[in-house]
Amino acid sequence: MSRLSAQPRTPPPLLTPFALLGDVERPATLTVADLRSGWEQHRAEVVFDCATNGPQHHSFEGPLLREVVLDAHPVFDARRRKDRSRYLVAVTGGDGHHTVLSWAEVDADFGNAPVLLATRMDGRGLDGAGSQLVVPADRCGARYISAISHVWVGAWPVSVQPARCA
């Protein structure tokens, strides 16, 4: 007779990393655990309207998006506000949903929005589900991206020419 327990073992939580890439000097692959241990955690109590489930009330914790991106060293000239203001941050979720924020929206010299890369939701860790983008000021939940798979940082192309009307 075996001495091994017949009770099933609980598998360890899944590590769902995302790629931080684009116009950055230090691209990275980050997990929820990395986000939790590498940056100060901020808290946001939010209410947003979800098109399918109605009003949602949640508490999120995680680092500020701007702090995580700044640690990747975006290639903009931090001393030049107009250079920073042409950068975008695109976030993609594991389900294919995505959104775009302007860098100026989250930059402390401009909008200073406390956008989070959540590591906890309602007191529960998101280690298995993956980090979630949280935009606390949004009334609509469309920019709350779950199971983040990519965060891309890049500049709006300066060579775009306006369309000519016929």
Contact in structure between 14 and 128 (CB atoms under 8 Å)? yes
CA distance 25 to 111: 24
Q: What is the pLDDT of residues 90-138, one digit of tens each?
A: 999 998 999 999 999 999 999 999 999 999 999 999 999 999 999 999 9
**What is the C-alpha separation between 8 and 164, in angstroms, rounded?**
67
User: 5 pLDDT band (50/70/90 cuts)?
Assistant: very low
Q: Which residue has the tokens 């016929």?
A: 166
**Order of strands across the sheet with 120-121?**
42-50, 54-62, 120-121, 124-125
Spatial contact of 130 and 94, defined as CB atoms under 8 Å apart = yes
For the segment 70-92, what is each residue's pLDDT rounded down to a tens digit?
999 999 988 888 889 999 999 99
Question: 18-154 in CATH: which number?
Answer: 3.90.420.10
